[in-house]
């Protein structure tokens, strides 16, 4: 602000402290100066006797220098004060948005408006707690006038410095209702906030990459809120599908229960439900999600820079926590086209014990039965699934707590011809946590996971039962220190029992063979330490190391194959038999982890991540997606563990008003010893899988760009990913090479991926949401020639994955009508009208070949979704 002569010559004289407004009125009476201002603008500024003798120009600059109020002198007498409207507008916007979202705004004044020290920044601090339980909340985003300022620490504390004056302070965290405070700050002070868990069970998972600047590289927090608002397939809200819409994540199609992260395969994702790995994440072979979104609390997704506490899968971690009841008794439910669900919970025993339960069951048979088509037999088929969860926790004291979490899902699929497919997942855990003090806590977890399936055929002459199962109990001990450093130490042990499969006839007339593949037993142990600290004011470092070991135990037989020959049964030279509990193979791995965050400014940071991870169990598959009869294979004497290394580097920024966030992140990943299949290999019930699989090196690299708008009536994100994913076999035997040992595209090498999602509030109750996805068609091989040998037709194909399916793209829209917005009402219902695949594109799921009757294979395209799929669903909460 430029000094102005006239104002320099006017000296200040006050007898006692007066408001600036009063001083100006006095000056007007003494001089020809006329001041134009709004009294309330200047009342906050006080002039005390220490300023006597100073010029008016000096005093104005001193008091208003760092505020949004400026002044100017015109015609040597008119002193005009101007208030910059932007800050007010931003505040007004926040207030408007908050009221649009039916938020209450509390008013808090710190200090006396008349008695504050001008020009001094005020320290405002406080603790954020959960309304019901009184527990402190970590990682709450604190925003001042819409600009994000800080996160609460592990004890729920925050500190910010503010200019004196009127502000809007907001607090937000994942599944909690945002809290807004209209703050009059005139003195340093304490301001505590309470957050209320969203009173209802989730509607849908909305991806909110809040605080992109402050999170780890490669981390996304999927906050589960406002659930029924996104479009979905047949009205089933799907967490996995939301993950599939993250930058760097792709999927091979609709019947794909897994997802591919940064060019990795589906088995390289660690999906945890309350800490227990879940191996099958879908119902009905991938059509529907296996998790009831109403029962899910928080979801964290890491696709790079994976912390040391996680291990065992090389590509990503999807950590899902079951919802814990923290409120009065409440419930929710919904009805979709194929399933209905209920969830509910509450606390009792003076809120020391909480219970949360959910269940979902399908009733899709009516759809099958109601459709008349050429496939009339299908009305005899049925598709059923259910899932359920229960979470009970009890606080013995403020320090100790015991939590039980159980989850189960099951599928039953019966077919025209008497065969029945049955699959189930189970995950149960018992967790005890103990707080030694504010800084140290300990947890011990005993859990067990199980995945199994069975296929039975009851047709008289072919009757058989085919089964597979894996059970994995584990014990995990963790110790966390939270202070200036965030240190974690843990010991994790998981015992894996593989029942790799059997086939047996079930009637005496049956022709089915009897095959029993011997069980395998493995023990995965891990010891980790991680340390997160601020190396300097700007550089945050999280360094960790994880030491892993995997042992397999007898009984078992190891075949020795002739050296210098391909691994094939005819080349077995010897076999070694192992007794019960005798160690058959041992692998060790040292896994360094590093995550760095360098703050460039309040709104920008650079992040770096490196992780090495060993993976000891492998999904044996010759398809890109998870197939119903896939087999998880233990590492053993033949299959060495996969070793994955990933580097990622990203630049993150947010706009000053916190409305937009953007990032660009690049990665390079190499995984040694992934298992790829030999051409024509039969993988189901293979008693010698080592003869059907070849180790390959997988490598992928790419860049992800993302821009999101996170506040306002229109929110959403657009992202673009360019990446490549290759594999290469390294063997000297022709039989063990794919494409002659040259690199080839992996099944999910999809160079260009565009993802767009948005949510627009038409009014307080109406929302218009949408998702658009585009990706390059995935690789395939095509036939190029045909011939017969000894009357048998043979097709010649191009090298593996040398060509591509047509590109995939799809638009989904939804219109959501929420209930009225009275804050305390008994029943709150939401209608969602979803349109899946709006322009009815017949995206190719797979290309397969059928004999044209003359021995030549003709290509056919299978489109799982061939039309627009409308659905209407209703959900409620009480």
Partner 1 sequence: MRRHVITIWLLAILLFDGCVEPFNAPVVEQQPGIVVDALLTDQPGPQSVRLFYSSGLNADLDNPELIAGATISITDENGRIEEFDEVSRGVYQSDESFAGTIGQSYKLTVLTERGEHFESDFIQMKPAGEITSLYYEYESAVLNQGHPELPQDAVNVYLNGKGAADDVSLLRWRWHATYQVHTFPQYRIKHSPDGTILPDPYPCSGYIVDNENKLKSIFPCECCECWPTEFSEHASVSNNQTTSNVFNRILVGKIPVDQWRFLYKYHLEVEQLSVQDDVYAFWKLVQAQQQGGANIFQPNVVKVKGNLKRISGDVAVFGIFSVSAVTSAIVEIDRDDIPIPPYVPDVIIQDCRNYKENSTNVKPPFW
Residues 223-262 that bind partner 1 (CB under 8 A): 234, 254-255
Among residues 10, 53, 66, 61, which one has the least CA distance to residue 34? 10
Count interface residues toward partner 1 (CB under 8 A). Answer: 93
Q: How far apart are CA 76 and CA 264, in angstroms?
A: 72
**109: CB partners within 8 A, 6+ apart:** 183, 184, 186
Among residues 88, 392, 321, 327, which one has the least CA distance to residue 194? 327
Angle at 380 between CA 377 and CA 381, to 5 degrees: 100
Nearer to partner 1, 199 or 793 (CB): 793
Q: Is 829 in the site for partner 1 (CB under 8 A)?
A: no
Contact letters (x/-) for partner 1, 602-631, by CB under 8 A? --------------------xx---xxx--
Token pair for 760 = 């627009």
Q: Is 110 in the site for partner 1 (CB under 8 A)?
A: no
Interacting span for partner 1 (CB under 8 A) from 149-157, 582-590, 635-643, 865-873: 865-873
Peptide bond connecting 515 to the previous residue in cis, omega within 30 degrees of 0: no
CB of 552 to partner 1, least distance (A): 21
* Entry field: residues in the chain: 878
Q: Is 142 in the site for partner 1 (CB under 8 A)?
A: no
Nearer to partner 1, 40 or 788 (CB): 788
Contact criterion met (CB below 8 Å) for 710 and 659: yes
Q: How far apart are CA 477 and CA 550, in angstroms?
A: 18
Chain residues 762-781 in contact with partner 1, contact rule CB under 8 A: 780-781
Q: How far apart are CA 400 and CA 393, in angstroms?
A: 11
DSSP 5: H
Contact letters (x/-) for partner 1, 492-511, by CB under 8 A? -------------------x
CB of 690 to partner 1, least distance (A): 12
Contact letters (x/-) for partner 1, 278-297, by CB under 8 A? ------xx-x----------
CB of 612 to partner 1, least distance (A): 33
Binding residue for partner 1, selected from 419, 452, 633, 875, defined by CB under 8 A: 419
CB of 688 to partner 1, least distance (A): 6
Q: How far apart are CA 185 and CA 115, in angstroms?
A: 11
Q: E-assigned strands of 323-463?
A: 330-335, 339-348, 353-362, 382-395, 400-414, 419-435, 440-457
Binding residue for partner 1, selected from 41, 45, 291, 421, defined by CB under 8 A: 421
Nearer to partner 1, 76 or 377 (CB): 377
Token pair for 797 = 């194909």
Nearer to partner 1, 364 or 488 (CB): 364
Among residues 759, 724, 757, which one has the least CA distance to residue 743? 724
Nearer to partner 1, 444 or 572 (CB): 572
Contact criterion met (CB below 8 Å) for 225 and 174: yes
Q: Is 789 in the site for partner 1 (CB under 8 A)?
A: yes
Q: Is 809 in the site for partner 1 (CB under 8 A)?
A: no
Q: How far apart are CA 316 and CA 850, in angstroms?
A: 37
Nearer to partner 1, 297 or 779 (CB): 779
Q: Is 416 in the site for partner 1 (CB under 8 A)?
A: yes
Contact letters (x/-) for partner 1, 345-364, by CB under 8 A? -------------------x
Nearer to partner 1, 234 or 237 (CB): 234
CB of 628 to partner 1, least distance (A): 7
CB of 509 to partner 1, least distance (A): 11
Binding residue for partner 1, selected from 29, 107, 349, 373, defined by CB under 8 A: 373
Binding residue for partner 1, selected from 710, 834, 846, 875, defined by CB under 8 A: 846
Q: How far is CA 568 from CA 682, 729, 791, in A?
A: 13, 17, 28
Q: How far is CA 828 from CA 296, 469, 825, in A?
A: 19, 42, 7
SS (H, E, C) 597-656: EEEEECCEEEEEEEEEEEECEEEECCCCCCCCCCEEEECCCCCCCEEEEEEEEEEEEECC
Q: Is 734 in the site for partner 1 (CB under 8 A)?
A: yes
Binding residue for partner 1, selected from 577, 590, 782, 872, defined by CB under 8 A: 782
CB of 785 to partner 1, least distance (A): 4
CB of 250 to partner 1, least distance (A): 19
Contact criterion met (CB below 8 Å) for 572 and 580: no
| Enclosing H/E stretch for 574 | strand 572-578
Q: Is 516 in the site for partner 1 (CB under 8 A)?
A: no
Chain residues 440-479 in contact with partner 1, contact rule CB under 8 A: 455, 461
Q: How far apart are CA 220 and CA 239, in angstroms?
A: 13
Token pair for 220 = 């996304």
Residue carrying the six token digits 């945002």: 178
- Number of Cβ within a 10 Å radius of residue 463: 20
CB of 758 to partner 1, least distance (A): 24
Nearer to partner 1, 50 or 792 (CB): 792
CB of 791 to partner 1, least distance (A): 4
CB of 333 to partner 1, least distance (A): 23
Binding residue for partner 1, selected from 402, 497, 847, 878, defined by CB under 8 A: 847
- Number of Cβ within a 10 Å radius of residue 167: 21
Binding residue for partner 1, selected from 415, 477, 489, 547, defined by CB under 8 A: 415
Nearer to partner 1, 440 or 684 (CB): 684
Binding residue for partner 1, selected from 506, 586, 820, 858, defined by CB under 8 A: 858
Contact criterion met (CB below 8 Å) for 154 and 440: no
Chain residues 644-703 in contact with partner 1, contact rule CB under 8 A: 679-682, 684, 686-688, 691
Binding residue for partner 1, selected from 25, 601, 788, 820, defined by CB under 8 A: 788
Token pair for 540 = 């945050």
**277: CB partners within 8 A, 6+ apart:** 270, 271, 312, 427, 449, 472
| Enclosing H/E stretch for 40 | helix 39-43
Chain residues 310-339 in contact with partner 1, contact rule CB under 8 A: none
Nearer to partner 1, 112 or 509 (CB): 509
Nearer to partner 1, 432 or 733 (CB): 733
Q: How far apart are CA 101 and CA 62, in angstroms?
A: 40
Q: Is 854 in the site for partner 1 (CB under 8 A)?
A: yes
Nearer to partner 1, 453 or 498 (CB): 453
Binding residue for partner 1, selected from 598, 651, 797, 876, defined by CB under 8 A: 797
Q: Is 790 in the site for partner 1 (CB under 8 A)?
A: yes
CB of 698 to partner 1, least distance (A): 19
DSSP 399: S
Nearer to partner 1, 143 or 841 (CB): 841
Torsion of CA 28, 184, 153, 711, to 10 degrees: -100
Q: Which residues face 465 on adjacent strands?
A: 456, 504
291-312: burial string, b at 16+ Cβ within 10 Å, e else = bbbbbbbbbbbbbbbbbbbbbb
CB of 709 to partner 1, least distance (A): 32
Q: Is 808 in the site for partner 1 (CB under 8 A)?
A: no
Nearer to partner 1, 391 or 678 (CB): 678
Contact criterion met (CB below 8 Å) for 447 and 275: yes
Q: Is 793 in the site for partner 1 (CB under 8 A)?
A: yes
Paired sense of beta strands 34-36 and 78-83, if any: parallel
Contact letters (x/-) for partner 1, 541-580, by CB under 8 A? ---------------------------xxx-x--------
Contact criterion met (CB below 8 Å) for 197 and 178: no
């Amino acid at each position: 602000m430029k000094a102005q002569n006239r104002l320099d010559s006017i000296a200040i004289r006050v007898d006692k402290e007066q408001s600036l407004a009063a001083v100006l009125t006095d000056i007007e009476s003494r001089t020809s100066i006329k001041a134009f201002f709004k009294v309330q603008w200047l009342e906050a500024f006080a002039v005390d006797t220490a300023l006597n003798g100073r010029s008016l120009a000096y005093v104005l600059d001193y008091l208003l220098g760092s505020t949004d109020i400026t002044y100017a002198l015109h015609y040597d007498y008119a002193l005009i004060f101007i208030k910059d409207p932007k800050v007010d507008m931003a505040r007004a916007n926040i207030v408007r948005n908050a009221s649009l979202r039916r938020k209450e705004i509390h008013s808090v004044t710190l200090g006396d408006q008349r008695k504050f020290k001008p020009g001094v920044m005020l320290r405002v601090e406080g603790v954020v707690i959960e309304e019901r339980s009184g527990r402190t909340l970590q990682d709450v985003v604190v925003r001042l006038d819409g600009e994000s300022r800080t996160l609460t620490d592990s004890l729920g504390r925050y500190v910010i410095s503010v200019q004196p004056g009127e502000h809007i302070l907001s607090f937000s965290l994942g599944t909690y209702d945002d809290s807004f405070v209209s703050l009059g700050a005139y003195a340093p002070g304490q301001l505590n906030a309470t957050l209320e868990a969203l009173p209802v069970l989730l509607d849908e998972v909305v991806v909110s990459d809040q605080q992109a600047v402050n999170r780890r590289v490669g981390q996304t927090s999927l906050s589960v809120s406002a659930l029924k608002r996104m479009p979905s397939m047949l009205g089933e809200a799907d967490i996995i599908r939301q993950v599939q819409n993250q930058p760097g994540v792709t999927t091979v199609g609709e019947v794909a229960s897994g997802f591919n992260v940064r060019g990795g395969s589906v088995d390289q994702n660690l999906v945890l439900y309350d800490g227990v790995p879940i191996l099958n994440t879908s119902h009905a072979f991938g059509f529907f999600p296996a998790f009831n979104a109403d029962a899910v609390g928080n979801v964290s997704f890491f696709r790079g820079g994976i912390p040391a506490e996680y291990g065992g899968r090389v590509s990503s971690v999807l950590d899902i926590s079951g919802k814990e009841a923290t409120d009065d008794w409440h419930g929710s439910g919904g009805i979709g086209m194929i399933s209905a669900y209920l969830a509910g919970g509450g606390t009792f025993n003076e809120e020391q014990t909480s219970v949360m339960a959910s269940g979902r069951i399908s009733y899709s048979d009516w759809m099958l039965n109601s459709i008349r088509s050429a496939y009339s037999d299908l009305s005899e088929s049925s598709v059923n699934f259910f899932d359920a969860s229960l979470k009970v926790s009890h606080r013995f004291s403020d320090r100790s707590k015991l939590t039980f979490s159980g989850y189960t899902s099951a599928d039953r699929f019966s077919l025209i011809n008497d065969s029945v497919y049955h699959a189930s997942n189970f995950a149960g855990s018992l967790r005890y946590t103990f707080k030694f003090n504010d800084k140290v806590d300990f947890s011990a977890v005993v859990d067990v996971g199980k995945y199994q399936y069975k296929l039975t055929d009851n047709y008289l002459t072919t009757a058989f039962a085919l089964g597979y199962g894996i059970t994995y109990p584990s014990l995990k001990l963790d110790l966390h220190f939270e202070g200036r450093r965030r240190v974690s130490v843990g010991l994790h042990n998981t015992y894996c029992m593989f029942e790799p499969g059997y086939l047996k006839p079930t009637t005496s007339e049956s022709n089915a063979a009897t095959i029993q593949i011997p069980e395998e037993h493995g023990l995965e142990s891990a010891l980790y330490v991680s340390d997160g600290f601020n190396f300097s004011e700007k550089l945050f470092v999280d360094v960790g190391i994880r030491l892993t070991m995997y042992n397999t135990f007898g009984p078992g037989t190891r075949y020795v194959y002739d050296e210098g020959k391909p691994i094939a049964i005819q080349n077995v030279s010897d076999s070694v038999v192992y007794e019960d509990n005798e160690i058959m193979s041992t692998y060790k791995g040292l896994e360094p982890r590093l995550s760095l965050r360098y703050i460039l400014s309040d709104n920008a940071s650079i992040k770096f991540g490196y992780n090495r991870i060993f993976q000891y169990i492998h999904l044996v598959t010759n398809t890109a997606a998870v197939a119903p009869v896939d087999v998880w294979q233990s590492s053993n004497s033949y299959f060495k563990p996969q070793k994955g290394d990933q580097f990622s580097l990203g630049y993150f920024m947010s706009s000053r008003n916190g409305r937009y966030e953007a990032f660009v992140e690049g990665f390079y990943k190499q995984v040694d010893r992934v298992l790829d299949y030999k051409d024509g290999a039969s993988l189901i019930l293979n008693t010698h899988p080592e003869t059907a699989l070849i180790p390959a090196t997988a490598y992928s690299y790419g860049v992800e760009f993302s821009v999101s708008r996170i506040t306002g009536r229109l929110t959403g994100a657009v992202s673009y990913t360019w990446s490549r994913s290759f594999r290469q076999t390294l063997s000297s035997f022709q039989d063990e090479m794919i494409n002659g040992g040259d690199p080839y595209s992996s099944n999910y090498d999809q160079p260009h991926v565009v993802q767009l999602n948005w949510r627009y509030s038409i009014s307080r109750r109406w929302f218009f949401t949408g998702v658009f996805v585009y990706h390059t068609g995935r690789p395939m091989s095509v036939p190029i020639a045909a011939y017969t040998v000894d009357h048998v037709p043979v097709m010649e194909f191009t090298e593996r994955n040398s060509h591509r399916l047509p590109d995939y793209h799809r638009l989904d829209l939804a219109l959501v009508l929420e209930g009225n917005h009275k804050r305390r009402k008994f029943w709150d219902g939401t209608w969602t009208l979803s349109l899946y695949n709006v322009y009815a594109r017949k995206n190719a799921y797979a290309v397969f070949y059928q004999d044209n009757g003359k021995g030549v294979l003709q290509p056919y395209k299978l489109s799982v979704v061939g039309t627009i799929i409308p659905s209407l669903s209703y959900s409620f909460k009480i």
